[in-house]
Structure 1
Amino acid sequence: MRLDPLSIPYRIAENSTQIAGGVVVAGIAGSSGSGGNLLQGATIFFGIAAVGVALVAGWNVAYYRRFRYELTGDTFDIESGVLSRRDREIPYRRIQNVDIRQNVVQRLLGIAEVRLETAGGGQTEAQLKYVNREEAGRLQEEVGRRKRGQEPSVDESEAEQQTETLYSITPRELGILGLVSMDLRLVPFLLVALSVFGPAAITSMLPDVDQWFLIGPLVGLTTLVGLAILSGIISMLQYYDFQLRSHGDEYRYERGLLQRYSGSIPVEKVQTLSIRENVLARWLGYASLTIETAGYAPGQGSGARSQSAIPIAERDRVVELARSIEPFDEVTFERPPKRARERYAVRYLLVALLVIAGTYAVTLVPDISGPWFLSALVLPVVPIAAHVKWRHRGYYMGEEYAITRNGFWSRRITIVPTYRVQTVLSSRTIFQRRRRLASVIVDTAGSSSLMGTDAVAADIDAEQADRLRETVADRLQVAIGQRDSS
């Protein structure tokens, strides 16, 4: 089978855009040697551009003619390559996900990119650029059937009976998602921009006011407003018309406005569930649900190991769906001992003293003055912050699940089935040892271990940590034995 014929003009436009910079530089360099003759220079410039486009067009026509794919009895076969040929046979059992992507232009043309994600692969195994949208859906469905060992003759009515809509985002929820989404990774860029341009802007608008007294409030206010608007818009575009469906032994999702994604989450690859809620979402009674899976490559967009099952919904609804995936019971978290709270207070006190010292140091710069001592107002916040951090940490050890809770500004409750545990270990830093504390880390085959966000029972009693580690290890062996016997 071939790619869609419309992939030829689209790839030509796409590749031409990518090399446009080089073509422009070459054209300018060529026209500069025309001795000032405008007509001759323009002819050289457009001649080089035409040659570049012709080469791109020829390459993409050859790419289209030499690209073949086929679904055989056991493998997804792909033949590709213009100058050097490459033949691949991808077993269905290795394919984790058939990911479909479409941007706005591709949707108008009715074409889509298909990506094959495989177990354990660090990169996308294969890409089909581009096939008809209906063909992309057929490939996604057909590969899923063959993975499950079903005959390809399952009719549409039976397929519809296997599909159940678990979650569909509403316009209200999409608006709340935009409200509660704030990406703090943009803060450094905004701070740098405001530090460079802020003083001049204030001086021009308010020449008679000491600009240094306004920099702090302006930076804080502008940063918060900018983050709220930008991150909110990005999140709304990413999760527009989000749909999650149960389809046989996998979950199917679709999302996105400008860039449309469609993919699947194999049930057998689910490692952990994470219920996440930042302060604003928690205050409004909302949360999100993230599924960690094994085998996807980090940083591959919708093919990443961490996938939103519910981007935003009322908390009770999120917990209900989480229990439909992994049936855990009501839990009561055991908090760290109170001496852990003392550790947090010392840590925050040191940070507060650094802030006060830094504020005072700024006043030593010539022509800069101000009530630096007002920064001491952060000191009363120290015990409150320590208590809040302690209060929002905890763990629960059940018969079949280990559940941890961490974070205040962005709280995460992680549910780990014991049969999914890969390793369990306890760690004690030099500061924890002074207070007889330790942390227990429950590692799975998902992305948590790679990104440092495992399920962690943090700052619990050292002896309790040893017992918890042994309990998780013992119950892992029991769970493995039960699954092997069944």
Structure 2
Amino acid sequence: MSDGANAEIGARRVHPGTIAIDFLRRAPQTVIGLPAIAGWSSGRGLGWILLAAAVVGAMTLFFTWLGWRRFTYTVAPNELVIERGVLSRSRRSIPLERIQDVSIERKPLARLFGLAEVRVETGGGESDEAVLDSVSVSEAERLRAALRGHNLEVDMFSVAEGNVHSPESAVAATIFHMSLGRVMLLGLFGFSLVWIAALFGLLQFFDQFLDLGWDQLRDWAQVAEDEVRARFSLAAALIVAGIALVLGVVSGVVRALLREYGFTLRAGTGRFRRTRGLLTRTEVVVAMRRIQLAMIQRGPLRGLFGWNALSFQTLGGSNDPSGRQAMAPLAREHEVARIVDAAGLPPFERLPLRRVAAGHVIRSLLLALPWPALAIGALALVTPLAWLGLLLLIPMAIAALLQRRFHRYALRHTSLQVMRGVIAQRDWIVPFENVQVVTLRASWLQRRLGIASVLVDTAGAGGGGAPDVVDINLPEARALATGLVERVG
């Protein structure tokens, strides 16, 4: 590769180790096909079975090699060209000016072979525009530098494993790091029972290898149900709840360790570099000029103990469909403020924020309560115990009443700042220059209450919550929308 940022790289193939990685990835499919081979070879002896398995393995390896051989990539002065296909050839051209970001990911097999996966994102969709799997770590770093239009010698970031260094790597200072204890604490806050369902799915997959049928399990379940009905006690219920709690906590901790282990955020000239992951090690560089807004989140438990989560909405470079980049999954307020300041964003200030209109409470109650109340009333025609469900409406009513207290907004010197949410609270910092569209909207009910909402869109947003200001008096809504448009212009 030439050192020039725009010099062309001739057509290249990914690393030969990709053949071994792809072959190992396809191994489970080959193993699933072994019973069919055994059935075909029935009565022919063990030699035929081994021969058939060897033929299938050799064919898989050959086609894997052929796919590797026919896959090439070229970095031209103005585009990235990827050609692939054995029988049907395809040529994909990605203009370099469209590339928003390039990330490096190292999955367990790739790390075993000393390789990395390069993901190219253009911001034109929720998935990556191109994936080069796999190249050497040094080649991944050179590719990222070339695709971004930077010379490798002046790239301030080095590879996480230290295989590549640059003279200005010392400029990148660590501004946030999560210790093992903090990652595990994040897992405790991320209590989940999802993995329990995955465990039962795994048991069902391996059912044919276990001397255990679902009919037998159902019989055991019926026996257990009869025993529970015969000997039900509060202690038994607490034991079941305790087991579920432990499984949920363990699954949350494991998930956090796999995703956030070794989370480190470094800041250099105009960029952040984030590395994280236990088995799959990912490295993403976020250009500060592509940051559209900052969002600070507090869950019901983490907020109670003073913990926050910070993410940036960016133009690209995220596998999250919302386009957000996690910058600090579990951080104190001063740590969040340091990262926000490093990004060149104004600090979030709660004191100047003003509440939305009182009509927000009325609308929230009218939207939240009628349908559950009607459902409970319908069930009450069948069983009188359904009236106890009205107790569930009490927390819903309290949440609706509190929504106005936690929903505030203000136009600051350089940004729109919004806070919203009762149980899960969110704060937004939106620089005026990043506001793309301002919409003034009033539904039928809002018009009757004399209120309206101001919807704010930024580039790169794909969901996951927007910094909208909901239910403010109509004159104030018009003033807010006009003020945003004037500041954007």
Residue 225 of structure 2: aligned partner: 203
- Matched residue SS, 1:451: coil
Q: For residues 83 and 197 of structure 2, what CA distance do their matches in structure 1 show?
A: 46
Amino acid at match of 2:326: S
- Matched residue SS, 1:386: helix
- Matched residue SS, 2:131: strand
Residue 108 of structure 2: aligned partner: 104
Unmatched 5+ stretches in structure 1: 191-195, 365-370, 478-486
Residue 468 of structure 1: aligned partner: 480
1:15 to 16, 26, 31: 26
Q: For residues 282 and 362 of structure 2, what CA distance do their matches in structure 1 show?
A: 47
Identity of aligned residues (%): 27
Residue 417 of structure 1: aligned partner: 431
Mapped contact 1:334–1:396 kept (Cα < 8 A) = yes
Could you tell me the TM-score, scaled by structure 1's length? 0.80
Q: For residues 173 and 306 of structure 2, what CA distance do their matches in structure 1 show?
A: 26
Deviation, structure 1 residue 318: 1.1
Q: For residues 429 and 215 of structure 1, what CA distance do their matches in structure 2 show?
A: 50
Residue 168 of structure 1: aligned partner: 177
The reply on whether 1:306 has 2:328 as its aligned counterpart is no
1:327 to 340, 345, 365: 345
Give the 5 Å matches for 1:128-207. Answer: 128-144=132-148, 146=149, 148=150, 150=151, 152=153, 156=165, 158-182=167-191, 200=222, 203-207=225-229
Give the 5 Å matches for 1:380-395. Answer: 380-395=394-409
- The alpha-carbon distance between structure 1 residues 322 and 58, as it changes in their structure 2 partners (threshold 3 A), is same
> Per-residue CA shift, 1:186-213, capped at 9, x if unaligned?
89999xxxxx9998476244232579x9
Q: For residues 60 and 189 of structure 2, what CA distance do their matches in structure 1 show?
A: 44
2:68 to 61, 64, 72: 64
Give the 5 Å matches for 1:268-287. Answer: 268-287=289-308
- The alpha-carbon distance between structure 1 residues 168 and 358, as it changes in their structure 2 partners (threshold 3 A), is farther
> Per-residue CA shift, 1:71-90, capped at 9, x if unaligned?
45444444433334444454
Could you tell me the TM-score, scaled by structure 2's length? 0.80
Mapped contact 1:180–1:281 kept (Cα < 8 A) = yes
Q: For residues 361 and 214 of structure 1, what CA distance do their matches in structure 2 show?
A: 34
> Per-residue CA shift, 1:358-384, capped at 9, x if unaligned?
7646747xxxxxx55544434544543
Deviation, structure 1 residue 289: 0.6
1:437 to 443, 451, 456: 451
Taking only aligned residues, the RMSD between alpha carbons, in angstroms, comes to 3.7
- The alpha-carbon distance between structure 1 residues 19 and 96, as it changes in their structure 2 partners (threshold 3 A), is farther
- The alpha-carbon distance between structure 1 residues 6 and 185, as it changes in their structure 2 partners (threshold 3 A), is closer
Residue 484 of structure 1: aligned partner: none
Deviation, structure 1 residue 476: 0.8
- The alpha-carbon distance between structure 1 residues 205 and 72, as it changes in their structure 2 partners (threshold 3 A), is same
Moved more, 390-399 or 67-76: 67-76
Mapped contact 1:168–1:241 kept (Cα < 8 A) = yes
Deviation, structure 1 residue 424: 0.6
| Number of aligned residue pairs | 453
Deviation, structure 1 residue 286: 0.5
Q: For residues 92 and 240 of structure 1, what CA distance do their matches in structure 2 show?
A: 32
Give the 5 Å matches for 1:446-461. Answer: 446-447=460-461, 450-451=462-463, 453-461=465-473
2:271 to 250, 258, 265: 250
- Matched residue SS, 1:3: coil
